[in-house]
């Protein structure tokens, strides 16, 4: 019988391949891991004003409800309410969806609830929630957008939207006048999207599907992945908008969920219709140095193995 030592060329080649495999893993993008770290409950009537969308300027919160906007401080104390102005209501625009903030402006997605065929983006001053007088009707070829949400990419000069039905298209608009620019094809279709926000090259989206899922979609290659689910054990729920902001509890992603409890709920306080703002923290990813050290160690081991030779021992 021939003894095979670590110096065997076959073993050396295997170790080299393993080292290369780890090197490849070190450059691959890992799936994000989000952990819920808290939830704030808003009961009626306050919850009503926070039942559609959410955004922030980094210093305060902005919420939307079907007929208007709300401004609140860090403790969620309301400081101002505003309604859809008559000039927009006159166009049949009676529903605000999720909202976004950029450069002192609140971008609100509006539509009318009878047919959802009048998608419009209206601009409001974040300082006092006053209407700027600027609104833009969305027109896009071959695809649909009912303006249930809006996401703004001020750095690139784009705004984003999507049709409500199952579709793999993200509509991209020119931020200056909300004219249609192009569409981005996702690797898989998403449906019932209620809110979205941009972070880097990713669009984070909340879906009112059966599991109340939060996804992220890469705007460069169309890759889509589910990050987590908000489906609660009992009652009827509807997921709404989401927003990014670093908070003292370690959270950075915040998602709205309407919860209408049923008879199975035990706590007396939980039997009331409420809006929950769920807070999520991103788990740290392994430091690149860890992968580099492991790869370097395997590569060194493979090199030593290829140089080392043991004389064969025959039985």
pLDDT digits (tens, 9 = 90+) for 101-121: 999 999 999 999 999 999 999
What is the per-residue pLDDT across 50-106, written as a single tens digit (0 to 9) for each?
999 999 999 999 999 999 999 999 999 999 999 999 999 999 999 999 999 999 999
Given this model, what pLDDT does residue 141 score? Answer: 82
Question: In the prediction, which pLDDT does 26 show?
Answer: 37
The model's confidence at residue 143, banded by pLDDT at 50, 70 and 90, is confident
Count of Cβ atoms closer than 10 Å to residue 136 Cβ: 19
Per-residue model confidence (pLDDT) at position 142: 75
* Distance in angstroms (rounded) separating the CA atoms of residues 315 and 295: 37
CA dist list (Å): 239 to 31, 67, 275: 22, 18, 9
Q: Find tokens 């049709």 and name the residue.
A: 163
Q: Can you read off the two tokens belonging to residue 104? A: 């002192």
Q: What is the pLDDT of residues 163-189, one digit of tens each?
A: 999 999 999 999 999 999 999 999 999
- DSSP lists the bridge partners of residue 166 as none
Contact 66, 96 (CB under 8 A): yes
* pLDDT, greater one: 201 or 21: 201
Distance in angstroms (rounded) separating the CA atoms of residues 204 and 224: 10
Alpha-carbon distance of 298 to 285, in angstroms, equals 21
């Amino acid at each position: 019988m021939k003894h095979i030592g670590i110096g065997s060329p076959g073993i050396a080649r295997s170790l080299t391949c393993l080292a290369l495999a780890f090197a490849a893993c070190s450059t691959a993008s890992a799936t994000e891991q989000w952990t819920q770290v808290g939830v704030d409950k808003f009961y009626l009537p306050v919850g009503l004003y926070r039942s559609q969308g959410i955004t922030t300027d980094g210093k305060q919160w902005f919420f939307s409800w079907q007929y208007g906007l709300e401004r609140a401080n860090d403790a969620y104390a309301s400081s101002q309410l505003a309604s859809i102005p008559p000039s927009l209501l006159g166009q049949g625009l009676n529903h605000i969806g999720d909202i976004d903030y950029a450069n002192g402006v609140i971008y609100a997605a509006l539509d009318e609830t009878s047919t959802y065929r009048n998608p419009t983006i209206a601009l409001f001053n974040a300082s006092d929630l006053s209407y700027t007088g600027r609104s833009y009707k969305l027109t896009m070829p071959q695809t649909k957008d009912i303006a249930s949400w809006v996401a703004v990419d001020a750095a690139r000069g784009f705004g984003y939207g999507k049709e409500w039905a199952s579709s793999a298209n993200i509509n991209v608009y020119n931020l200056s006048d909300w004219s249609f620019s192009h569409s981005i094809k996702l690797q898989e279709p998403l449906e019932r999207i209620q809110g979205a926000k941009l972070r880097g090259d990713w669009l984070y989206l909340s879906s009112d599907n059966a599991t109340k899922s939060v996804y992220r979609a890469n705007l460069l290659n169309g890759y889509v992945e589910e990050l987590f689910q908000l489906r609660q054990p009992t009652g009827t729920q509807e997921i709404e908008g989401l927003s990014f902001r670093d908070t003292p509890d370690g959270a950075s992603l915040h998602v709205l969920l309407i919860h209408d409890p049923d008879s199975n709920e035990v706590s007396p306080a939980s039997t009331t219709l409420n809006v929950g703002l769920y807070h999520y923290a991103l788990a740290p990813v392994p430091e690149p140095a860890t992968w580099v050290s492991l790869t370097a160690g395997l590569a060194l081991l493979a090199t030593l193995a290829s140089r080392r030779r043991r004389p064969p021992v025959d039985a």
